[in-house]
Homo-oligomer: A and B are copies of this chain.
């Protein structure tokens, strides 16, 4: 078996330097979650397919990774399906489990299953990988991490404000300049009502999204060509052309949607959230954007999306309010709102902009070179002493040529190299080389820890 081994396409290994960068991102997000009172949970990688199926649309069902049942999985499968090689229909007989597709459905399942132990409102965060059998491409992987924070059991819009605050906190700490786009599902409902075409929301938001690129006339032509009535397209004009700052946009929306109860409620919610967020004061921009139409299948109120300002990449964080997430598991009427940080895209952004602090990924602080058994034994005592003081240290394990040992120190970017050779062993000293400056000093071993500090 001499062929070079490989990993499944769309998956990745992360070596030490990549891990240091990724952990910097995860730690920043984790710190914010803690600061804001979101406590962590974890759910299994495998869920029953009955939990996962039908939650992500037909396309999503196809993208689930399925686990083959153990043992003689074909034993009880219907003969006709086998004979007809009906892969799709046979699947339910030979596979009962799948890998989680996101963290939201497992969270909803968790809440329902543990309803008796959970104090509402329940604020949870969850940082775990998810799996999708998507066609791999640049920036899209079959295994990637989601970092979710949700609060369920409270309809208060303060939760929205808090999540926006947390987005601001995370990206300010990561030094990524972002714009937070904000919409409300009820506004989209209002727009659909206005033009009498409730089922055309997606066409309309796609059109709104194009206005800057191709102009009002072309967008109107497109809408007409898609079969939306001329009167409706006319009524839409003020929304398509929505301009100005958030206050102006909100004022226009109020005017246009004055006859839609749902629409006005959406505008009101949006206005309140924007006002509270602004009142608290922030650097990052909050953009009212009625073309924002993510999660139309489940979001019922606020819709949030975050874009990096300095990198061309899709949404790096998104979220929204859902009024019936747990209904599908038999627990209706529980409102919640949540966001998901896309760790892998954030990683791409930080890589492109090189926004990592210099100190990350540092190896051990002190490497002791190995001059032979007696010297190594003495060095190990010092290694142990440093570790007891919380200073990371190690002994090069083999007494090989110093050139090789120094190459190791260089490749690991070790800040200090310590040397106890024959002379030092005799007079109880240590030679310490600071690698950045190249300076080398010799002093009694008793002074080592204090010199390193």
Contact = CB atoms under 8 A, between A and B. Distances in A.
A143 B44 contact: yes
Contacts of A117: 15
A261 interface: no
23 contacts: A5-B329, A6-B113, A7-B109, A8-B46, A11-B46, A13-B113, A14-B43, A19-B41, A19-B42, A37-B392, A44-B143, A46-B131, A67-B67, A68-B94, A82-B85, A119-B407, A119-B412, A158-B376, A158-B380, A158-B397, A169-B387, A276-B377, A276-B380
B7 A44 contact: yes
A162 B37 CA distance: 39
A443 interface: no
Contacts of A36: 364, 387, 392, 394
A179 interface: no
Given A13-B110, A19-B41, A34-B392, A8 B97 contact: yes
A40 B90 CA distance: 41
Number of copies: 2
A349 B85 CA distance: 50
Nearest to A364: B37
Interface stretch (A70-78, A210-218, A416-424): A70-78
Contacts of A129: 45
Nearest to A3: B330
Contact of A16 (B40, B143, B156, B279): B40
Given A390-B35, A397-B158, A16 B124 contact: yes
Contacts of A259: none
A356 B150 CA distance: 28
A328 interface: yes
B44 A72 contact: no
A422 to B, nearest CB: 18
Given A8-B44, A387-B169, A395 B162 contact: yes
A225 interface: no
A133 interface: yes
Per CB-CB distance, the 8 closest pairs between chain A and chain B, nearest first, are A11-B44, A156-B397, A16-B39, A37-B364, A37-B394, A2-B330, A119-B411, A66-B68
A335 B37 CA distance: 47
A315 interface: no
Interface of A: 1-8, 11-16, 19-20, 23, 34-37, 39-48, 50-51, 62, 65-68, 70-75, 77, 82-83, 85-88, 90-91, 94-97, 99, 109-110, 112-114, 117-119, 121, 123-124, 129, 131, 133, 142-143, 151, 154-156, 158-159, 161-162, 165, 169, 276, 279-280, 328-330, 363-364, 367, 370, 376-377, 380-381, 384, 387, 390, 392-395, 397-398, 407-408, 411-412
A71 B88 CA distance: 8
A151 to B, nearest CB: 7
Contacts of A66: 67-68
A127 to B, nearest CB: 11
A37 B364 CA distance: 5
Given A51-B5, A363-B37, A87 B67 contact: no
Contacts of A376: 158
Contacts of A276: 377, 380
Contacts of A142: 46
A453 to B, nearest CB: 15
A177 to B, nearest CB: 19
A1 B67 contact: no
Contacts of A48: 5-8
Contacts of A169: 387
A342 B160 CA distance: 40
Nearest to A135: B70
Contacts of A381: 280
A43 B159 CA distance: 36
A7 B280 contact: no
Contacts of A151: 397
A390 to B, nearest CB: 7
A213 B70 CA distance: 38
A5 B109 contact: yes
A172 to B, nearest CB: 10
Nearest to A30: B23
A398 B154 contact: yes
